């Protein structure tokens, strides 16, 4: 779980509500994403209809899967990285790829303690433009310890290069900050549902605000869509 979820509930509420999930007075989160200059991702923007039109999250799995689980996550959250690196590969292989489960990824950056989370979320959105969502998602999580300790300067761009993205398109996308509203919409959705930390999972109308493993997810899927016994 993200560090602030381990703190007292009042602190979680503080971080979530103060400044609309941003520290009061902070208009943007700006960091060097490449040697080409600073990239600014607005943190408390007004969400427009165009920001969410035709998009309700990053969906992985069959549209006909009987169960959907939503994960609200923060790229700088250690618990989210642990889930992505250790649990997600088995969940994808055994439940998603077999058609039993569809996974819905949603951004929930915790701006106070995690200053690079929104920038990471935008990097993944730009990779998604080129059909590389999972590749960028997985690589950013896998290298979290490195870029968090040493700063995110250039790290996300390096990941994009390693994933084979067209870097001119990627750089333009990052400079535009065009997915800031989409990220904010995802945060606001989570707040409305009662998400208080990361990772939090939504399945069958219930929130699971604790770390899940493969067995937990399988049990949830089995409870929502039991497998018919073999005759």
Q: According to the model, what pLDDT value does residue 150 have?
A: 65
Encode the chain (231 residues) as per-residue pLDDT tens digits.
Answer: 554 444 444 444 434 433 443 332 333 343 333 444 567 788 889 999 999 999 999 999 999 999 999 999 999 999 999 999 999 999 999 999 999 999 999 999 998 889 899 999 999 999 999 999 999 999 999 999 999 886 686 899 999 999 999 999 999 999 999 999 999 999 999 999 999 999 999 999 999 998 899 999 999 999 999 876 655
200-203 β-sheet, strand order? 58-60, 101-107, 67-73, 200-203, 206-208
Q: Which domains does the chain have, with CATH numbers?
A: 3-43+53-224 (3.40.30.10)
The span from the CA of 112 to the CA of 85, in Å, is 24
Q: Which helix (H) or strand (E) holds 208?
A: strand 206-208
Tokens 């950013």 belong to which residue? 140
Q: According to the model, what pLDDT value does residue 162 have?
A: 97
Q: How far is CA 89 from the centre of its chain?
A: 16
The span from the CA of 29 to the CA of 156, in Å, is 15
């Amino acid at each position: 779980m993200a560090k602030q979820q381990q703190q007292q509930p009042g602190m979680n509420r503080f971080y979530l509500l103060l400044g609309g999930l941003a520290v009061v007075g902070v208009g943007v989160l700006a960091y060097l994403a490449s040697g080409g200059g600073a990239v600014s991702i607005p943190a408390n923007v007004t969400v427009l209809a165009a920001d969410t039109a035709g998009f309700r999250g990053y969906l992985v799995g069959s549209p006909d899967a009987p169960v959907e689980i939503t994960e609200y996550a923060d790229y700088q959250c250690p618990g989210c990285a642990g889930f992505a690196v250790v649990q997600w590969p088995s969940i994808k292989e055994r439940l998603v790829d077999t058609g039993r489960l569809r996974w819905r990824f949603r951004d929930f950056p915790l701006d106070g303690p995690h200053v690079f989370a929104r920038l990471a979320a935008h990097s993944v959105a730009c990779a998604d433009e080129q059909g590389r969502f999972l590749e960028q998602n997985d690589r950013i999580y896998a290298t979290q310890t490195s870029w968090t300790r040493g700063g995110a300067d250039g790290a996300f761009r390096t990941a994009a290069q390693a994933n084979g993205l067209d870097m001119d398109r990627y750089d333009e996308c990052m400079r535009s900050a065009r997915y800031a509203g989409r990220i904010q919409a995802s945060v606001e959705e989570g707040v409305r549902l009662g998400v208080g930390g990361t990772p939090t999972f939504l399945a069958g109308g219930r929130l699971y605000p604790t770390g899940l493993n493969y067995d937990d997810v399988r049990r949830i899927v089995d409870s929502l869509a039991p497998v018919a016994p073999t005759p």
